[in-house]
Amino acid sequence: MTRVLAIYITLAFSLFLCGTECNISFSTSGATSNSYNTFIKALRAQLTNGATAIYDIPVLNPSVPDSQRFLLVDLSNNGNNTITVAIDVVNASVVAYRARAARPYFLADAPDEALDILFNDTRGFFLPFTSNYVDLEKAAEKSREKIPLGLTPLHNAITSLWNHESEEAAVSLLVIIQTVFEAARFRVIEQRVRNSISSKANFIPDPAMLSLENNWLAISWETQHALNGVFSKSIQLRSTNNNLFLVDSVSSSIMAGVAFLFYNCVTFPNIIKMPVNVVMGKEIDNEICAVQNRTTHISGLEGLCVDVKNGLDSDGNLVQIWPCGQQRNQKWTFQPDETIRSMEKCMTAYSTSSPENYVMIYNCTTAVPEATKWALSTDGTITHRRSGLVLTAHEATRGTTLTIATNSHSPKQGWRVADDVEPTVTSIIGYNDMCLTANDDKSRVWMEYCVPSKNQQQWALYSEGTIRVNSDRTLCVTSNGHNSSNVIIILKCELKRGDQRWVFKTDGSILNPNAELVMDVKNSDVYLRQIVLYPYYGTPNQQWLPFF
């Protein structure tokens, strides 16, 4: 342990000292999925060095000393060509590159600091386009979905820029930006490149990848302005099959694939507890994030929605679960004052846990204020502030009245705050780029090489936090106990069980909130065919990625 700690201290110290004089490198010659992963991790570590975090996602530093403003990345190929790409650590964007004969080329939107600092030992040249995708595609006379990616295109892009083939510069930069820097931003894109390297096959960016690239700034903005993790509006993304799905909060499983965010504002201290961003010993003097409220659905057991009974807005009317629709009595607004409102009335509860302690709506101005305060956690729990009890649906049937009860961390107490109420179907990629796999009831789950068409590797993620076998949605991923090293198996879904609720964390882990332990490939050995509960250490055998 002491040796590991010493390594981390040495790495952290070297990153602190590293400015433009420090390069990280990657070569396509002999590249493997693992060597590419090591390179991307090093790139992320440099970009997020000294960054603060929100919901455990690093936020890029908005202000850094000139000596640390730009990061140099050496890219080489088996043709002995090496280019040096300069990126701005403030936004992880390419600003320039140095090619053959040490000749530098600057993109048209490179900041003034880049011209003063980078490659100033020789005369530079300006490219006739910016780093914006619209501009790059126009210059390339090709859209991204028509430009192959992978090791061979990266090799060719390096050669082209090394020789400064001006007619191919925009295409080459599109290859490099997506293969390297978008992969640093998004673990999902990194995974696509890793799959390509392993299969030795090029690939075309699919709708899922393109929608992530187009929405990094929107994801960054919404995350920093979120109210208890809930976005002010839905972000529309696409699956690999071009199906629309919505990201409404930090608790969305897709957020596990976001490696870092662009800085927008100082986080509101009363909403998100996180350290103050400090650069060179001084607090950044930027505006506080204006937290946005949100009106949306709340879905839970079996995808049923929180609903004001019969749509009546009278004080004391019950709150229940009901099939989801667009009616106004299923629209709930999360307010900064910790109230949750529908039809201008507040969700309200008394402070006992008796079965008669139902949840109702009540006039916000005449109700006991403490009875109307709720806290939404990123694990999907909605806690009544006054009592410490949590919002609960005791049955998965329409018309079930909601109560507050002691938190058992079971699916009956899990909620998704989003307009997208349908289960999300995905594969789950983990250790050694293999997929989580299961057969049937009472079997263990294990890791196998990913096969896109394989039913045993398709999972349905439900609003209440269950992970279900997609081909038989009565079967749930279940921990066989709540202690460390207990095996994870498949059992019939029983929605009162705390061992069937799971949370995709932004750190890449899958947490069982009942046990406070995460999914772990036992001993980092896929051949044991065992996935177990284990304390979180952030090791590769505890990293999981939904792959839509």
Tokens encoding 529: 């065919």
Q: Are 189 and 209 in contact (CB under 8 A)?
A: yes
What is the DSSP code string of 153-198? HHHHHHHHHHTT-GGGHHHHHHHHIIIIIIHHHBHHHHHHHHHHHH
HSE-CB for 181 with a 13 A CA cutoff = 24
Sheet holding 403-405, edge to edge: 374-376, 382-384, 390-392, 403-405
What distance, in Å, lies between the first and last C-alpha atoms of the chain?
Answer: 37
Tokens encoding 537: 């250490």
Sequence-ordered alpha helix ranges (H) in 146-305: 151-162, 169-176, 183-185, 187-199, 207-225
The residues carrying an active-site annotation are 182
User: What is the CA angle 278-262-120, rounded to 5?
Assistant: 80
What is the DSSP code string of 36-81? HHHHHHHHHHHHTTT-EEETTEEE--S---GGGSEEEEEEE-TTS-
- 401: buried, middle or exposed (CB in 10 Å: 19+, 13-18, 0-12)? middle
Tokens encoding 291: 């937290």
- Diameter of the chain by CA atoms? 80
Q: Tell me, what DSSP letter sits at residue 470?
A: T
